[in-house]
Amino acid sequence: MNRRNVIKSGLAGAAAFAAGSQVGFAKEAKKKKHNFSFCLNTSTIMRQNLGLMGEIETAAKVGYNGIEIWMRTLQQYLKDGGKTADVRKKAEDLGIVIEDSIGFAAWIVDNDEERGKAMDQIKMEMDLLAQIGCKRIAAPPFGATNPPDIDLRKAAERFHEVCELGKEMGVLPQLELWGFSHNLHLFGETLFVAAESGHPDAVILPDVYHLRRGGSPFEALEMINSSKIQMFHMNDYPGSTPKADLTDGMRVLPGDGDAPFGEILNTLNDKGVPIVLSLEIFNEDVWKMDASEAAALGLKKMKEVVAKAIA
């Protein structure tokens, strides 16, 4: 092959590579731009009183990928004669994932007897959740929202025990910060407890409202990498209201307040791992709506802020 043919061959190869690259880029452009799935925390439609099965059906019908249930709703369903196997089948048939459960056990408190009862409670709840195929359970600082201070090193030891129980039961506890709480209202405190627990399964469940209410900067989310945040509670807040005056009832739908979702969602998305965005609000106006309409509006709002942030 002479030099001219070599050049022609090289140019042809380069052209083919360029064409192939353009096809590759086109395919890449069509790929999903974010790592989020969308979940409904049933607090959002709590006052519509649909019951557990109705909540699952509603979330699936309007297009959520997952649902975050409340333990008391599951327990009421079982008290009324329902079966865990039917809950699991309902979710599987509808193609919706039961991502998490909101429960209230005083695992963090100093009182040994109270804490022992809380661990029994968590074990019982985890057993029920495993039966319905629920992956996780929230572990907020319930019982320690008022003074005195809880020693964070002791809190870390106690969370290690909860994580060990979760490993045994097959349900992952998520350490949740509460912005209004005396203990674990700061992201840094929550991060300390998770880190010092020394447990490989330790994860944190943050929340837009609670980060704002507790006074932590949203930049704090950058301090956690990889899969240590598996879920994130979505809501919004009025920026004109002082942080200390915010209440649960002031939570609004994403995009209806002043939360910096561009910063928040890009920080989460840059972690490069799947993260479940779960809509959790306690809004009277939303509770007055038809449940399906409220759930659909919430999903639309979440997708809009994600699309705007992850351009």
Same domain, 16 and 77: no
Q: What is the mean pLDDT of residues 187-191?
A: 98
Q: What is the mean pLDDT of residues 286-305?
A: 98
CB contact at 8 A, 275 and 230:
yes
Which residues in the chain belong to E strands, given as ranges? 36-41, 66-70, 97-102, 136-139, 172-176, 203-205, 231-234, 275-279
Same domain, 13 and 102: no
Q: What is the pLDDT of residues 278-293, one digit of tens each?
A: 999 999 999 999 999 9
Same domain, 5 and 92: no
Predicted TM-score (pTM) of this structure: 0.89
Q: Is the predicted pLDDT of residue 53 greater than 80, yes or no?
A: yes
Model confidence band, residue 209 (pLDDT cutoffs 50, 70, 90)? very high
Q: Is the predicted pLDDT of residue 269 greater than 70, yes or no?
A: yes
CA distance 76 to 174: 23
Same domain, 8 and 109: no
Model confidence band, residue 6 (pLDDT cutoffs 50, 70, 90)? very low
Same domain, 198 and 84: yes
Range of the domain at 141: 34-309
The total number of structural domains that make up the chain? 2
Same domain, 27 and 119: no
Instruction: Please provide residue 123's backbone torsions phi and psi, each rounded to the nearest 5 degrees.
Output: -60, -45
- At 46 the pLDDT is 97
Same domain, 144 and 162: yes
CB contact at 8 A, 252 and 239:
no
SS3 136: strand
CB atoms within 10 A of CB 6: 10
Model confidence band, residue 32 (pLDDT cutoffs 50, 70, 90)? low
Same domain, 25 and 137: no
The enclosing domain of 299 has a CATH number of: 3.20.20.150
Model confidence band, residue 21 (pLDDT cutoffs 50, 70, 90)? very low
CB contact at 8 A, 244 and 7:
no
Model confidence band, residue 226 (pLDDT cutoffs 50, 70, 90)? confident
DSSP state of 252: B
Same domain, 208 and 237: yes
> Could you tell me what percent of the chain has a pLDDT over 70?
90
Q: What is the pLDDT of residues 129-174, one digit of tens each?
A: 999 999 999 999 999 999 999 999 999 999 999 999 999 999 999 9
The encoded tokens of residue 307 equal 């699309």
Same domain, 161 and 290: yes
Same domain, 40 and 27: no
Q: Is the predicted pLDDT of residue 28 greater than 60, yes or no?
A: no
Q: Is the predicted pLDDT of residue 118 greater than 50, yes or no?
A: yes
